[in-house]
Amino acid sequence: MDLSGYDLLTTAVLLLDGDYRVRWANTAAEEHFGLSRKQMDGLDAQALTHEAPSLIKVPLRGLPWAWLYELPMRQTRLDDRQHARTEREAQRESLRNLAHEVRNPLSGLRAAAQLLETELPDPAQRDYTQVIIAEADRLVELVDRLVSPQRHGLDLREFNVHEICERVYTLLQAEFGRQVLIQRDYDASAPELKADFSRILQALLNVGRNAGQALTENPDIPAPKLVLRTRVAHQLVLSSRQVRLGLVVSVLDNGLGVPESLRDRIFHPLLTGRARGTGLGLSLAQEYVQQHGGIIEFDSVPGRTEFRLMLPLEPIS
Ligand SMILES: Nc1ncnc2c1ncn2[C@@H]1O[C@H](COP(=O)(O)OP(=O)(O)OP(=O)(O)O)[C@@H](O)[C@H]1O
Ligand SMILES: [Mg+2]
């Protein structure tokens, strides 16, 4: 019997035998449970679905299966993502406006400090004007990072995603390689990606650096390890749609995990859990990936954190 139609559904579907064992699962169920069809074959369906918020059980007659279980939750996830995205966009917009307002007075402040410096009779006093100038520069840089994604359109070209992974690998190796074991796990079958090279590079680097920092800023992590992984994925649910073919670039680390208090808002700008963080890394990475019709997601428990950059491998509609 041809079951491929079920793979087009956004809801997870399981087909069970008379003993309530899974005999088949659609792609949505594979993604939902994080298990392949093969891995689910023979599992106790009751145990598998006992945490599902809603479950539809359909008895089947005259078919090789006894039951069809449907978990209509991927749609909810899609709605959640759309809602989160709208909220983030609104927030970024007001931040951008604020940034524009802040930029001009900052330039004035800096220029005035420079003028003052030339007038100061005692060179020792220049230490103070230097502080003003340096801090103004730091703020301008921050403000520039806040407004930057809007500045130019995407510079699309075709390339292999592993070119980006290799660059990021080299950079992470240089920054964290002495303390962290950095591994690569690539899917060689990944087709070419049509995207803005520098933005995807920046997005992956931001996520990779976070993982490196999570591993090195805490000295108690035994055998710190970071993995860069690529996979081609079928039926990928992205922020506003589902695509047939996509690319998932993951950064995995075995650090302590994302602090509970940050989880819901981790992609919001200026949210940081680090003493010296600006909290812009993930917000920019998310923005860059979303400009390509993709999304960044994460799962995190102590000892295993995975950030996934999910990109469509079909034209942006
Ligand atoms: N792999 C990870 N493991 C644990 N915590 C993480 C991880 N990635 C991100 N975080 C948490 O999420 C926060 C936000 O990350 P984000 O990259 O947006 O900002 P930042 O790293 O603090 O500053 P910036 O990237 O702007 O220098 C981090 O401060 C950190 O607390
Ligand atoms: Mg960061």
Tell me the Ramachandran region of residue 4: left when phi exceeds 0, alpha when psi lies from -120 to 50, beta otherwise: alpha
**Helix, strand, coil: what percent of the chain each, to 5?**
45, 25, 30
Question: Rounded to whole angstroms, how far apart are CA atoms 309 and 294?
Answer: 7
Residue 19 has pLDDT above 90, yes or no: yes
What is the number of the ligand 1 atom nearest to the C-alpha of 210? 8
What is the residue with the minimal CA distance to atom 13 of ligand 1? 272
Ligand 1 atom closest to Cα of residue 307: 1
Rounded CA separation 245/147 (Å): 32
Residue nearest to atom 27 of ligand 1 (CA): 277
pLDDT at residue number 73: 59
Q: What is the DSSP letter of 19?
A: T
Q: What's residue 295's pLDDT? A: 92
Quote the mean pLDDT of the chain: 87
Residue 244: predicted pLDDT: 86
pTM of the model: 0.69
Question: pLDDT, tens digit, for every residue of 293-308?
Answer: 899 999 999 999 999 9
For residue 19, is it left (φ>0), alpha (ψ between -120 and 50) or beta? alpha
Helix axes 74-119, 281-291, angle to 10 degrees: 120
Question: Is the pLDDT assigned to residue 317 strictly greater than 60?
Answer: no
Atom of ligand 1 nearest to the CA of 282: 18
Query: Between 297 and 103, whose confidence is greater?
Result: 297
Sign of CA dihedral 51, 56, 60, 63: negative
Q: Tell me the mean pLDDT in the region 258-276.
A: 88
Q: Could you read off the pLDDT of 168-220 as tens digits, one per residue?
A: 999 999 999 999 999 999 999 999 999 999 899 999 999 999 999 999 998 88
How confident is the model over 222-242, as a mean pLDDT? 87
Alpha carbon nearest to ligand 1 atom 5, residue: 258
Q: Is 179 helix (H, G, I), strand (E, B) or coil?
A: coil
Q: What are phi and psi of 181, to 5 degrees?
A: -80, 120
Q: What is the DSSP string of 98-140?
A: HHHHHHHHHHHHHHHHHHHHHH-S-GGGHHHHHHHHHHHHHHH
CA distances from 161 to 153, 182, 194, 221 (A): 20, 18, 9, 30
Ligand of minimum distance to the alpha carbon of 272: 1
Residue 169 CA to ligand 2 centre (angstroms):
16
Q: What local confidence, expressed as pLDDT, does residue 289 receive?
A: 92
Q: At 93, is the pLDDT very low, low, confident or very high (cuts 50, 70, 90)?
A: confident
Gap from CA of 236 to ligand 1 centroid (Å): 25
Phi, then psi, of 256 in degrees rounded to 5: -75, -15
Of the bound ligands, which one is closest to the alpha carbon of residue 251?
1
User: Residue 234 — very low, low, confident or very high, per pLDDT cuts 50/70/90?
Assistant: confident
Kindly tell me if the per-residue pLDDT of 152 is higher than 90: no
Range with lowest mean pLDDT among 80-84, 128-132, 262-266: 80-84
Checking if the pLDDT of 252 tops 90, the result is: yes
How large is the average pLDDT for residues 285-290?
91
Looking at ligand 1, which atom is closest to the CA of residue 283? 18
pLDDT tens, 31-72? 888 888 999 999 999 899 887 777 888 888 878 899 999 887
Determine which residue's CA is closest to atom 8 belonging to ligand 1: 210
- For residues 99 and 96, give the distance between their C-alpha atoms in angstroms, rounded to a whole number: 5
Which of 92, 172, 210, 288 is the pocket-test mutation for ligand 1 (most atoms within 8 Å of CB)? 210
State pLDDT tens for residues 115-150.
999 998 888 888 889 988 988 888 887 787 777 655
Higher pLDDT, 232 or 78: 232
Residue 95 CA to residue 135 CA, distance in Å, equals: 20
Q: Which ligand is nearest to the CA of 276?
A: 1
DSSP string, 28-69: HHHHHHT--HHHHTT-BHHHHHTT-S--EEEE--SSS-SEEE
User: Between these two residues, 74 and 241, which has the higher pLDDT value?
Assistant: 241
Tell me the mean pLDDT in the region 13-23.
Answer: 94
* Pocket-forming residues, ligand 1, beta carbon under 6 Å: 206, 210-211, 214, 253, 255, 257-259, 262, 266, 271-274, 277-283, 305
18-22, 75-79, 119-123: least confidently modelled range = 75-79
Ligand that lies nearest to the alpha carbon of residue 307, given by its number in the listed order:
1
- Distance from residue 206's CA to the centre of ligand 2 (Å): 6
What's the CA-to-centroid distance between 54 and ligand 1, angstroms? 34
What pLDDT was estimated at residue 168?
95
Give the Cα separation of 280 and 260 in Å (integer): 19
Query: Side chain identity at 289, as an amino acid letter?
Result: V
Tokens representing 231 are 């996979």
Instruction: Give me ligand 1 centre to Cα 149, in Å.
Output: 19
Residue 104 tokens read as 């001009």
Single-letter code of the amino acid located at 199: R
